[in-house]
């Protein structure tokens, strides 16, 4: 049985970790790091989700005019605009640069169908099932039962083939550990021309699993992130299958 089949057949509870009743930990510039080991969450499957909604100022046109005519509508919660909506031309993808203790390096991402494996190296799996129900690869799983084999994982987001528009979105990357509160990293800084963002680094430091906020925007793609963090991979032009979109 495949990994995704297992999710759909009822084993999703094994991965949907974290208690909704607990408070979230927000990583900021001032408080940029948390230890999964110290909170007893360095085992099991770490779920990582990328979600976003459009900034209300960019919804434009008729909706803005409607607010002027009916100001009480402004008191309602902002509409969450999911992926593939006709009014939205922003499609963010989630990826992971990995380096293992044995020196193995690579990337898990939709481009090139490099979806990884949760039960074999690199122990990182891109799911393709996100909370909006689109198969665009905004959720991944990290198998921390093999944490001793990790050296570092860089979680990043990028805009593949649409207009650079990180500044038009409220994007959040959320980590759901096997125990304790979820961890949130917001991407609210304004970088209108950026195409990629290094979001969070997960490192094994003396057998302690540390999660550190990065939030560094770059104007290129994975090769530029590679240079920024010294990964040393060879990059070529990649393509994403339309069948899974």
User: Which comes out higher in pLDDT, residue 166 or 34?
Assistant: 34
Is the pLDDT at 68 greater than 60? The verdict is no
- Give CB contacts under 8 A, 24+ apart, made by 101-106: 101/148, 101/149, 101/150, 101/151, 101/204, 102/149, 105/231, 105/232, 105/233, 106/233
Q: What is the pLDDT of residues 177-213, one digit of tens each?
A: 999 999 999 987 777 788 899 999 999 999 999 999 9
Three-state DSSP at 7 gives helix
- Write the burial class of residue 149 (CB in 10 Å: 0-12 exposed, 13-18 middle, 19+ buried): middle
Q: What is the pLDDT of residues 143-181, one digit of tens each?
A: 999 999 999 999 999 887 666 667 777 789 999 999 999
Q: State the average pLDDT over residues 34-57.
A: 87
Give the confidence band of 137 by pLDDT, cuts at 50, 70, 90. very low
pLDDT band at 77 (very low <50, low <70, confident <90, very high): very low
Output the pLDDT for position 128: 63
Q: Are 49 and 173 in contact (CB under 8 A)?
A: yes
Question: E strand or H helix at 68, and its extent?
Answer: helix 61-69
The pLDDT of residue 9 is 37
What per-residue confidence (pLDDT) applies to 174? 94
Question: What pLDDT shows up at residue 16?
Answer: 37
Q: β-strands 124-126, 169-176: how paired?
A: unpaired
Provide the 10 A C-beta neighbour count for residue 22: 11
> For the residues 99-105, what does the mean pLDDT come to?
97
Count how many Cα atoms sit within 13 Å of the Cα of residue 113 in the half-sphere of its side chain. 4
Return d(Cα 119, Cα 117) in angstroms, integer. Answer: 6
pLDDT per position as a tens digit, 210-245: 999 999 999 888 999 999 999 989 887 655 554 333
Question: Averaging pLDDT over each range in 20-29, 46-55, 121-130, 176-185, which range is the top one?
Answer: 176-185
Predicted confidence band of residue 13 (pLDDT cuts 50, 70, 90): very low
Strand 169-176: give its sheet, edge to edge.
25-26, 183-187, 169-176, 45-54, 139-143, 124-126, 116-117
Percent over 70 (pLDDT), the chain: 66
Pick the CATH number of 27-229 from 3.40.1280.10, 2.60.60.30, 3.40.250.10, 3.30.420.40: 2.60.60.30
H-helix or E-strand spanning residue 157:
strand 150-159
């Amino acid at each position: 049985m495949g990994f995704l089949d297992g999710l759909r057949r009822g084993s999703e509870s094994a991965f949907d970790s974290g208690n909704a009743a607990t408070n979230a930990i927000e990583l900021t510039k001032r408080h940029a790091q948390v230890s999964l080991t110290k909170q007893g969450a360095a085992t099991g499957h770490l779920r990582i989700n990328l979600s976003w909604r459009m900034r209300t100022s960019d919804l434009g046109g008729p909706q803005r005019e409607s607010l002027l005519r009916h100001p009480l509508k402004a008191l309602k919660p902002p509409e969450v605009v999911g992926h593939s909506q006709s009014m939205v031309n922003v499609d963010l993808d989630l990826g992971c640069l990995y380096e293992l203790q044995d020196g193995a390096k690579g990337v898990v991402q939709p481009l090139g169908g490099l979806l990884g494996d949760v039960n074999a190296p690199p122990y990182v799996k891109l799911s393709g099932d996100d909370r909006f129900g689109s198969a665009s690869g905004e959720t991944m799983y990290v198998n921390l039962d093999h944490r001793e084999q990790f050296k570092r994982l860089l979680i990043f987001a990028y805009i593949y083939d649409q207009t650079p528009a990180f500044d038009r979105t409220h994007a959040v990357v959320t980590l759901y550990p096997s125990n304790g509160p979820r961890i949130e990293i917001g991407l609210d800084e304004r970088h209108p021309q950026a195409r990629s963002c290094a979001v969070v680094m997960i490192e094994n430091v003396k057998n302690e699993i540390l999660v550190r906020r990065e939030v560094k925007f770059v104007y290129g793609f994975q090769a530029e992130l590679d240079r920024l963090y010294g990964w040393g991979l060879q990059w070529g032009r990649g393509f994403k299958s339309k069948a899974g979109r």
